[in-house]
Amino acid sequence: MFSPSPRWVRTTFGGETVASSKRMMLLHEPGKLPVYYFPHEDVRMQMLTLGGQEGRWTVRSGGREAPNAAWTRDDGAYFAFDWAAMDHWFEEDDEVFKHARDPFHRVDVLRGSRHVRVELDGEVLADTERPSLLFETGLPTRYYIPRADVNMKCLTPSDTHTICPYKGTASYWSLKLNGKTYEDYVWTYPAPIPECPKIWQLLAFYNERVDTWVDGELQARPKTNF
């Protein structure tokens, strides 16, 4: 689906704005990340040079270049840019990370009173009756747990960080149990974006990798890309 987006979108490279438009189009294809397309008139074409891969453009600014970072559709009427190749992206005045936000993607956080227990290798990692349940389109329910209800002695801080355009930047812990290390099984959002404040400083476990009981019932481990 190729449809108009009401958001003012900008992208920058080398300290300059490459494209800025309030007439954006968003390409949404099943199973793929959404892609923003700028009208040709809203792209600073002096910063683009055709070459490299067929149908691709190189972006140049500030003494730097991003080869093959732009491409077109509809006979050049619209331009798209490789998200990771650009320096910054903005929707209105908020910076957006990782990829364009999907208007059909929802993240809802609900405070709950279910009894959630998390175990691995016979060790209880968390036990709470005050979880926050995060429901995100296309992903299993995530149970965010207060630190006071987590067995923190089993957790070791990790250097891993990931970025989610819907939640913010996550920090990770690894688990150390019975002489084994399980890398990056637990995460938190120390400073979630304003749309997702309810998960602030709470911890979540990959329920694909641990045993999770909810109200006394063992949950099936979901099968995902994680």
Residue 223 lies in a domain: no
CATH classification at residue 198: 2.170.150.40
The pTM of this model reads: 0.81
- C-alpha closest to that of 12 among 51, 40, 43, 53: 43
Cα–Cα distances in angstroms (integers) from residue 28 to residues 23, 33, 105, 106, in the given order = 16, 7, 11, 15
Residue 225 lies in a domain: no
Same domain, yes or no, for 23 and 81?
A: yes
Residue 160 lies in a domain: yes
**Residue 213 clears pLDDT 90, i.e. is over it:** yes
Same domain, yes or no, for 18 and 88?
A: yes
Is the sign of the CA dihedral 34, 40, 45, 49 positive or negative? positive
Helix (H) or strand (E) holding 11: strand 9-13
Same domain, yes or no, for 183 and 214?
A: yes
User: What pLDDT, in 10s, does the model give residues 172-210?
Assistant: 999 999 999 999 999 999 999 988 999 999 999 999 999
Spell out the residues 6+ positions from residue 36 whose beta carbon is closer than 8 angstroms to its own.
5, 9, 24, 25, 26, 27, 80, 81, 100
Q: 70 has which bridge partners?
A: 57, 81
Say what the pLDDT of residue 198 is: 93
Same domain, yes or no, for 85 and 130?
A: no
Domain that holds residue 21: 2-95
Same domain, yes or no, for 111 and 213?
A: yes
Structural domains counted in the chain? 2
User: What pLDDT, in 10s, does the model give residues 21-69?
Assistant: 999 999 998 888 899 999 999 999 999 999 777 789 999 999 999 999 9
